[in-house]
């Protein structure tokens, strides 16, 4: 996985988004997710993607963020855990704090929450991790 702003495989994410949303071309994907086709080209060139957009698309279209980002599901892990994480982070209590974080810190927070949460998100864990990455 490449890129200084993210640890994700951008081409893989784009491919899985296209497949999950039943589109083939970048312009169709852009229309489906509400962005400009140039944005998708920029994701490839910069090897980075808007986490806010990605999370929003996955929540809105009920896609597994685990599958879109990693290309696989983690055995024994609730496939809705990412949905729980993002609903928590984009909820009223954390939304402003989460939006203010850099992409690197968002990725670190999300990854750590995923690794430490099991199948349920605790508010104390979120509070502790936000203090850690802020």
Cα–Cα nearest to 82, from 52, 46, 45, 119:
119
13 and 56 housed in the same domain: yes
Last residue of a domain, one of 73, 93, 113: 73
Q: Do residue 69 and residue 87 come from a single domain?
A: no
Q: Give me the CATH number covering residue 17.
A: 1.10.260.40
Are the C-beta atoms of 51 and 103 separated by less than 8 Å? Answer: yes
Question: How does DSSP classify residue 75?
Answer: T
Cα separations (Å) of 8 from 31, 62, 92?
Answer: 23, 20, 27
Question: How many domains does the chain fold into?
Answer: 2
Residues 54 and 11 occupy one common structural domain: yes
- Same domain for 51 and 90, yes or no, is no
- Please indicate, yes or no, whether residues 110 and 68 belong to a single structural domain of this protein: no
List C-alpha distances in Å: 111 to 31, 34, 39, 117. 29, 26, 24, 10
Give the domain-ending residue among 73, 100, 121: 73
For residue 11, what are the domain limits?
A: 1-73
Spans of the chain below 50 pLDDT:
1-6, 76-79
Give yes or no: residues 41 and 87 share one domain. Answer: no
Both 109 and 129 in a single domain? yes
Question: What angle is formed at CA 81 by the lines to CA 46 and CA 55, rounded to 5 degrees?
Answer: 30
């Amino acid at each position: 996985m490449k890129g200084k702003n993210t640890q994700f495989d951008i081409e893989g994410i784009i491919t899985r988004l296209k497949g999950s949303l039943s589109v083939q071309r970048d312009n169709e994907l852009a229309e489906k997710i509400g962005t400009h086709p140039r944005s998708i080209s920029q994701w490839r060139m910069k090897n980075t993607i808007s986490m806010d957009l990605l999370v929003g698309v996955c929540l809105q279209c009920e896609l597994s963020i685990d599958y879109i980002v990693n290309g696989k599901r983690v055995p024994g892990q609730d496939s809705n855990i990412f949905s729980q994480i993002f609903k928590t982070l984009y909820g009223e209590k954390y939304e402003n704090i989460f939006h203010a974080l850099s992409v690197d810190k968002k990725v670190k927070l999300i990854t750590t929450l995923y690794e430490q949460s099991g199948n349920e998100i605790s508010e104390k864990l979120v509070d502790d991790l936000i203090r850690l990455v802020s």
